[in-house]
A and B are shown apart, each in its own frame.
Chain A
Amino acid sequence: MTVIATRPYAMVDGNEAAARIAHLLSEVIAIYPITPASPMGELADAWSHAGKPNLWGVVPDVVEMQSEAGAAGAIHGSLSAGALSTSFTASQGLLLMLPNMYKIAGELTPAVIHVAARTVATHALSIFGDHSDVMGARQTGFALLASASVQEAQDMALISHLATLESRVPFLHFFDGFRTSHEISKIELIEEETIRGLIDEDLIAAHRRRALNPSNPSLRGTAQNPDVFFQAREASNPFYDSVPGVVARVMDLVAEETGRRYRLFDYDGAPDAETVVVVMGSGSGAVGEAVEELNRRGGKVGVVTVRLYRPFDVNAFVDVLPETVRRVVALDRTKEPGAVGEPLYQDVVAALAEAGVRADVIGGRYGLSSKEFTPAMAAAVFEEAALPHPRRHFTVGIRDDVSGLSLDFDPDWWSEPADVVRAVFYGLGSDGTVGANKNSVKIIGESTDLYAQGYFVYDSKKSGSRTVSHLRVSPRPIESTYLIDDADFVAVHQFDLLESLDALEICRPGGTVLLNTPYRGERLWDALPVEAQRHILDKELAVWAVDAAGIAREAGLGGRVNTVLQTCFFHLTDFRSSEDGVAAIKSYIQKSYGPRGQAVVRRNEEAVDNAIAAMFAVTPGEADGARRIADPVPAVAPDFVKRVTGAMLAGKGDLLPVSALPVDGTFPTGTARWEKRSIATEIPIWDPELCIDCGRCALVCPHAAILFKAFPSDTTVPEGFAWKEPTGKDLRGMRVVIQVAPDDCTGCGVCVEVCPAKSKEVARHKAINMQPKGEHLERERRNFSYFLEIPDMDRSQVNAQSVKGSQLLRPLFEFSGACAGCGETPYLKLITQMMGDRMIVANATGCSSIYGGNLPTTPWTTDDAGRGPAWSNSLFEDNAEFGLGMRLALEAQRQDALLLVTALAPELGSVAMEILDLFEGDDASSGDELVVRQRDLVSRLREQLAGLQGPLPRRLEGVADSLVERSVWIVGGDGWAYDIGFGGLDHVLASGRDINILVLDTEVYSNTGGQASKSTPRAAIAKFAAGGKATGKKDLGQIAMSYGNVYVGQVAMGANPTQTVKTLAEAEAHRGVSLVIAYSPCIAHGFDMTHQLDHQKAATDSGYWPLYRYDPAREVSGEPGLKLDSKKPTIPFKQFAATETRFAMLGRVDPTGADRLMQKAQQDIDDRWSLYEQMVDVHRTAEYVEVEE
C-alpha cells in the first residue's frame, strides 16, 4: 500500500474537528460539560493548558462555568466587551443557553456555538443524537449551519466563524451527536495559514469597535416599550437577508482554498429526478448511498442536503431542485408533537409554496436518539414517495403498530461495496478494545492512502460494560453513517461474551473471525455455543484464536488485551504488511503511551511481539455443542420484563414495536434483578466459622450483592446452605446468613476489605474471601435462590437505625450498573434499607440517574409487600426544586385528605377520630412505628370508604395514601449541588419544608468523565483543571448551616459507618430540610476502588473530610448545634493525597506548583478544622421552629 506523503490528513472525530477550528479562532471559550459535546470543551481546555495559541498567538482563555446558562452569559459578556468568543454544548445545555442566544442575536453579535446535536429529554433522557435541541433554537435569531460528516464538522466550523464576522449574525454550527461527534474519520485538515488567509481582520476590528468601551461609551440592553420595540426588532432584517449570500460567498472562498465545495443546499442525484429527499446532518450519507443505488437501478431520485437551515434561503433551495421534481420528502430528525409537520417539513412546504413550485411534499421522522438510519430505510422512503398516494406523514426505522405511521423496509435491500472492508469488534470497556480500535483506524488512515472510519457503541452500564467497535476501511471517503451489519471480520475480545451474544451473526459468509480464548483444540470448539458453531460451519468462516489474556497478563498488562488483538487484526487483514503493521502499532504505542512512561511502552511492545506467534487457526468440529446462548431473562420474570426488557437485553430493542413501550415514560421498578450479568471473575465466599455478623460487608457492597438475613432457628434449610448462630443476643432464636448474589457481584472486593474477622491460623483468610467464581457459582446460585425465599425481616424486630439492624433489612436498591466499587451506591442502598418502603426520590441527572434509571434494567425495587422507592429524574439543574415540588404535592394531598376525613367523620366512625388525633394531636411517634400505625389507619379508612357513596369518599380514596409518612429524598452529585443546581438547592434549603437532601460528593462531574466542579478540592487534577485546581472546595455544609434550621450532616461510610447511619436517621427525623453530604470515592480519584474504605478513613483522619452533624433541634435545648464526629487530624493531608492519582499526578507533572497547592490545601484543612472547633462552642439564640405542614 502506498504510504502518503505530505497531504494534511488527520484521523479525528467530529468534536475534535470542530473544536480545533473554534480554538484557533477564539479568545474566550466558556464551557460546561455535557454529553456528547464535552470533548470539545476538554480539548480546548487541554490545548490552552498546554499553551497552544489561537491564530493570533494568544492562548484562548477557557473558563468552565456553573452551567450552560452561565457559559452563554459569559460569552455574551465577552462578546459585548469585544472578544472573539465561543462555546460548545448539546441538548439541555443548548436549551439553557436560549435566553442568552436571543440576546446575542438581537444585538447582532458575531459568535459561534458548536453543538453536538443531542436529544432533548422528554419522556426519558437520552444522551444520543437527534435535532430536537437545535430545532429548539431555530427561533433565537442564530443562523443554523449543519454538518453531515467529520470533514464537514471542520469545514462548516470554519465557515461559521468566517460568516458570523461578516454578517454579524451569530451562528449555531451543529453536527449529529455521537454519529459525527464521536466518529473517527479521515479528514483533510485546513492548515492555519489557509485560515489566516481567509480571515478579514477588518471585520474583527469592527467587532472590537462595537464593543463596550468607556473611551467611547454606549449603552446596550435597554428596556423598550410598545412605541419602538417592534420597529427596532425589524431593523435587523437586512443583516438576516444578507446571511445566505455571505455564507455562500464564504463557502466559495473555502472551496477555492480546499477544493471542497459546499452550497447552502447541496443536491446529489439524477438531474431529472422526480423524487427528492431533503435531509440535514449525517443522515444525508445514508440517503446519498440509497440515491446512488436507486439511480443505478434505473430510478430518478435525488437528495438535497441542507447546510444553512436558518436563515432559510427559499431561492437557493428551489434552485437546486431539478425542474422535474414531482414529490419532495422532508426528513426530520426531531419530533414536534401537535405540529402540522416537523420543522424542516414545514420549511420545505412553505418554501415551495412561496416559490410557486408545484411539487407534493410529504414528511417523515427518522433517527430519534441515534436510531439507526440506513440506505435501506432511505430506500423505503423513496418507495413510499413513489406511491400515488403516499402517507403525508410517516416514520422510518421503527415499527409503529400504534399510529401506523412507520414504513416497512427491507434490511437486505442494501449491501455495502465489496471493496469496503468492514470489521466489528466485541469487547469490554475494561479491556481496551475501543482504544485499540481507535488506534487501528488512525494507523490505517494516517499511514496509507486508504480512508478509515471508526464508530463505537457502548452499553448503559458503568461496570462490565460491553463495547462494539465498527471499523470501515475504503479506497474512497466513507459516507456510511450507520452501523455495520455485514462484517468481513469479527473479533470477540472476551470469549464469555459468546455465551450471551450472537456475535458471529454479523459476519458475512466466508468472513474471518478472531477469538480471544484460553482454550485450544477440541476444548475450544466445545466451549463455543452451538449458535456460534453453526455460524462458523454454515458460513464457512475462517476462525483464528489467541490467548490474548494470557499474553497480556505475562506482559504485566492485567486485562488489557488490546494491543495483542490489534496485532492479530493487522496480521489477518492486509491493510499493511504484517511487519509493517507491527511497526505501525509500536509507533502508535510509543505515541499514545510514551508520555506515561517507557514501562508502559515496553510491556505493550512485548505483548505485540508475542501476539502473532501465539495465534492459531481453529479447526471446526460438528455443530453439536451442549452450550447455547442463554435467554436474556428467566422464564419466571414478569411479562413486561420478558417481552420488553428481555428484548433490550438481547440487543433486539430496535425490533420492539411502539406498542411495547409505555406511553409516558413510566416503567416498573425492580427490573435489575432479572438481568444476570455475571461479570465478576471472583466472588466473595462466606466462612460462617469466622463471621461475627457485624453486617459491614453488606453495608459497603455497592451492588447489594452481599446480603444479610436472619431466620428462625427451626427453619429447615437445603443442604449446602451455610448459616451460623448469631453472635449477639439481639437475634436469639434465629440463625443468620451472609449470602452472595453470585451473578450480580462485580467482584470489586470492597466487602472483603471491610471484613474485620480474620482467621487465627491464616491471617489473610477472613470471614468473607474472594474466590474464583467458577468454583462456587452453581452452589451459590442455589443458595442465593433459597436465600430469596427466606422472608424479609419484620422491621419492628430490628433496629433500622443501627449498622447491623439496617443490614438485616432488604435493600430496595440492588444490582445497579454502577462502577465496580462505586462509592455512591452504598449510601443509596442504606437509605432504602432504613426507609425505602416510604421513599420518593428526586434524582438529579448524573451518575446516580444513569445507574439508577438507565434502561434496560433499573435497580430501585420493592419489598415483600410490594412497597419501595418511587423514583424520578427531571433534569440536572432543577432537582432540588423537583423534589420540593413532590413534598408540596404530598402536603397538599394530606391537607385535602384531612379535610375530607373531617367532613366524612360522621360516616367514617372511629377511624376518622383516630386519624385526626394522630395528625392533630401530640403524638410523638416517628419512623417505622408511626408508619405502621398510619398504614393500618389508611387500610381501615379504605375499608370504610368502600362502603360509602358519593364524590367525597372517592376523592378521599385518591388522597388517602398521603396520610402515610413519605420520606422525600433529593439525590444528586456535586455537579448538581455545588454548581448547576446550587441556586435551586439554596432556595430549597431555605424553604423549611420536610425534605432530605443527599449529596453524593465525588468532587468531580463523574458521569461526564471527571470535569472539575466547585466541590473539587484544591490541588486535585481534573478535566478543566489540568494544572491542579487552584481554588479551594466550597463548604456546602457551612452554607446550609448558616440558615440555622437546616439539619446538616457530613458522612463517610468508610470512616465511620455508625455515624453515617445515625446521620441518615436524624436527617429523616428532622422536621425540616436536611442535607447529608456523603463522601463518595470514585474512579475519577484514581485508585483501586477495592480500597475505597481505607481512602475514606484516611480522608477523615487527615481532616480533609471531617465528620459532623449540625442539628438545629439541639440548639432548642441549649446545646451547640454542631457536633464533630471525627477526631482532630492525625495524619497530614499529603499522606492521604499521595495515595490518589488526582493529587499525586500534579506532583509528577508540576512538582513546584504541586508543593504550593498542597501547602494551601493543608491550610484549607487547618483553617476549616479550626473554624469547626470554634463553631462547636457556638450557641445560637434564635429559636428553632419546626415547620408546620
Chain B
Amino acid sequence: MTVDLRTSYLGLDLDHPVIPSASPLTGDVDHILALVEAGAPAVVLPSLFEEQIDHDAMAVHYSLEMGSDGFGEAAEGFFPQLDDYNTGPEDYIDLIKRAKAEVPVPVIASLNGVSTGGWTMYSEILADQGIDALELNVYRLAADMRQTSEVVEKSYVDLVEKVKKSVGLPLAVKVGPYFSSIPDMARRLCDAGADALVMFNRFYQPDIDLETLDVIPNLVLSDPVELRLVLRWLAIMHGRIDCDMAATSGVHEATDAVKALLAGATVTMMASALLRHGPSRLTEVRDGIRSWLGDHGYESVSQARGSLSYATAPNPEVFERAGYMKTLKSYVPTW
C-alpha cells in the first residue's frame, strides 16, 4: 500500500515532511545538493546572525583604528586599507544565490536579528534574493532583572508584525520553550503574521571548565529525549492555532518523526542526526515514516497528523501536569 507523504508547509508543496533544518550542513551548496539527493524536499539555510555581522564589522573597525592616528610614524594604522572587508551579509547572499541557482527544492532562509531595524533590514535583503520563505530564529535572553515577561513577549510579537509587514514572504518563527504560556505566545505570534512555528530553537549553553575555572560557551548536538518537550506542545496546540508547526530538536530516527507527526507537527526538521550520520539518514527517516504509516494502515501523513494530539489522544491529560505525576509514580528505583 502506498502512503501519501505529501505535505504543505509555509504554502510550499513538499514531497514529504522531513526537512533539513538550519545547521552547518546547509551552509554549503554541495552539502545541500547531497541532502536533496537524499530526498530533502526543502532546506533551511543556517541563520544569518545580525549580532555576528555587527561583531565582525566592529572587530574589523577596531583593528583598523587601533594604533592609527596616534603616532606619527604609523599615522595610517597597522593594516592596509581595502575596498571591502566583506563583513556584511554578502557571504550569506552568495549562499542563497548559489542555492537558488543550483538547488531544485524550496530554499528557506533563516535570520537571527538583534535590533528591530536589523530584523527588517536583513529580512528585506534576504527576501530580495528570491528565497521561498523566511524563518526568524528568535531568541532573547532576558537577563535584565527588571525586564518583565510582558515586555519580552511583546517584543517578539512586534518583531513578527514588522517583518511580516516589510516582506510578503511566508514566515516561520522559531522560538524557544521558555514562555510562561507557550500557547498564548503561539497564538499571538500567529496573529501577528507567522505562518509557521518552529519548535524549538537550541542555544549555546554555558559550561564550566573545571581546570581554568572559566565559563565557556558550548553547544552539543541534540538528543532524541529532547523531542518529548516538543511533542507536548505540538499536541497541546495542534488544531488550536492557525499556523503550521515544525518539530525540531530531537528528531533522529523515523520513529521520532512519526511521533511528532502524530502529535501534530506539519513537518519535522533534522540537524544533529544529519551531522552525525550524513544525508542518508534523511532518506532513512523518510522511508521509515512511510513504512511505519503503511505498516500501521495509514493512507497519508495528513491522516496521521495530529491523531495523538491533545484534542485527539485517548489520554490527553498526560500532556498536562498530571503526566508529570504519573511519571514519577511509575519510576522504580533500580537499587
Q: Contact residues of A with B, CB < 8 Å?
A: 35-36, 38-39, 42, 45-46, 49-50, 127, 178, 182, 428-430, 432-435, 438, 456, 458, 461-462, 465, 467, 556, 558, 560, 593, 595-600, 602-603, 758, 763, 819, 850, 1004, 1006-1010, 1021-1026, 1082-1084, 1086-1087, 1141-1142, 1145, 1148-1149, 1151
Contact = CB atoms under 8 A, between A and B. Distances in A.
Interface in B85-104: 85-88, 91
B88 A45 contact: no
Given A596-B60, A1149-B84, 11 more contacts: A38-B73, A434-B69, A596-B57, A597-B56, A597-B87, A598-B88, A600-B60, A1007-B73, A1009-B74, A1009-B75, A1021-B79
Contact of A429 (B54, B70, B91): B70
A277 B66 CA distance: 44
Contacts of B76: 39, 42, 1009
A1086 B66 contact: yes
B114 to A, nearest CB: 10
B80 interface: yes
Interface string B31-75: 000000000000000000000011111111111111111111111
B128 interface: no
B216 interface: no
A1151 B85 CA distance: 11
Interface residues of B, number: 39
* A-B interface, 4 closest residue pairs, ranked by CB to CB distance from nearest: A429-B70, A597-B57, A1009-B74, A1010-B78
Contacts of A1023: 78-80
Q: Interface centre among A42, A127, A458, A597, by most B CB within 10 Å?
A: A597
Contacts of B70: 428-430, 434, 458, 462, 465, 467
Contacts of A1021: 79-80
Contacts of A763: 213
A46 B53 CA distance: 25
A558 B62 CA distance: 10
A1141 B75 contact: no
Contact of B73 (A127, A467, A602, A1022): A127
A599 B61 CA distance: 10
Given A597-B58, A598-B88, A1023-B80, A1145 B69 contact: no
Nearest to A604: B61
Given A182-B75, A430-B70, A1008-B73, A595 B58 contact: no
B94 to A, nearest CB: 10
B77 interface: yes
Of B56, B80, B85, chain A has the most CB atoms within 10 Å of the CB of B80
Given A46-B81, A435-B68, A1021-B80, A599 B57 contact: yes
A1145 B85 contact: yes
B79 A599 contact: no
Contacts of A428: 70
Contacts of B53: 597-599
B75 A456 contact: yes
A1004 B67 CA distance: 14
A871 to B, nearest CB: 20
B70 to A, nearest CB: 2
Contacts of A182: 72, 75
B54 A35 contact: no
A756 to B, nearest CB: 10
B82 interface: yes
Given A596-B60, A758-B213, A1083-B78, A1148 B67 contact: no
B87 A596 contact: yes
19 contacts: A35-B72, A42-B76, A46-B80, A46-B82, A429-B71, A435-B69, A595-B83, A596-B85, A597-B85, A599-B58, A600-B58, A600-B61, A1006-B74, A1008-B74, A1024-B80, A1025-B80, A1142-B79, A1148-B87, A1149-B84
Nearest to B55: A599
A430 B69 CA distance: 8
B86 A1149 contact: yes
A467 B71 CA distance: 8
A35 B83 contact: no
A471 to B, nearest CB: 14
Contacts of B213: 758, 763
A432 B69 contact: yes
Nearest to A38: B73
B126 to A, nearest CB: 15
B82 to A, nearest CB: 6
B67 A819 contact: yes
B71 A600 contact: no
B123 to A, nearest CB: 15
B75 A434 contact: yes
Contact of B56 (A45, A467, A1148): A1148
B63 A1086 contact: yes
A152 B82 CA distance: 28
Contacts of A595: 82-85
Nearest to B62: A558
Contacts of A35: 72-73
Contact of A1010 (B61, B79, B86): B79
Contacts of B74: 1006-1010
B56 A1141 contact: no
A603 B118 CA distance: 12
Contacts of A602: 117
A599 B52 CA distance: 10
A369 B46 CA distance: 58
B61 A597 contact: yes
Contacts of B64: 596
Contact of B75 (A433, A458, A603): A458
Contacts of A556: 58
A178 B72 CA distance: 9
A595 B87 CA distance: 8
A705 B74 CA distance: 25
B236 to A, nearest CB: 40
Contacts of B82: 46, 50, 595, 1026, 1149
Contact of A596 (B61, B69, B73, B91): B61
Contact of B78 (A429, A433, A1084): A1084
Nearest to B81: A46
Contacts of B87: 596-597, 599, 1148
Nearest to B94: A1151
A1009 B77 contact: yes
Contacts of A178: 72
A333 B75 CA distance: 25
Given A596-B57, A1141-B59, A42 B80 contact: yes
Contacts of A1007: 73-74
Contacts of A1009: 73-78
A597 B88 contact: yes
A1025 B83 CA distance: 15
B61 to A, nearest CB: 4
A631 B84 CA distance: 48
A1145 B65 contact: no
Contacts of B85: 595-597, 1145, 1148-1149
A1142 B82 CA distance: 13
Interface in B8-52: none
A849 B157 CA distance: 61
A36 B76 CA distance: 11
A50 B69 contact: no
A593 B79 contact: no
B78 A597 contact: no
A595 B64 CA distance: 12
Nearest to B51: A599
A182 B69 CA distance: 12
Contacts of A434: 69-70, 75
Contacts of A1149: 82, 84-86
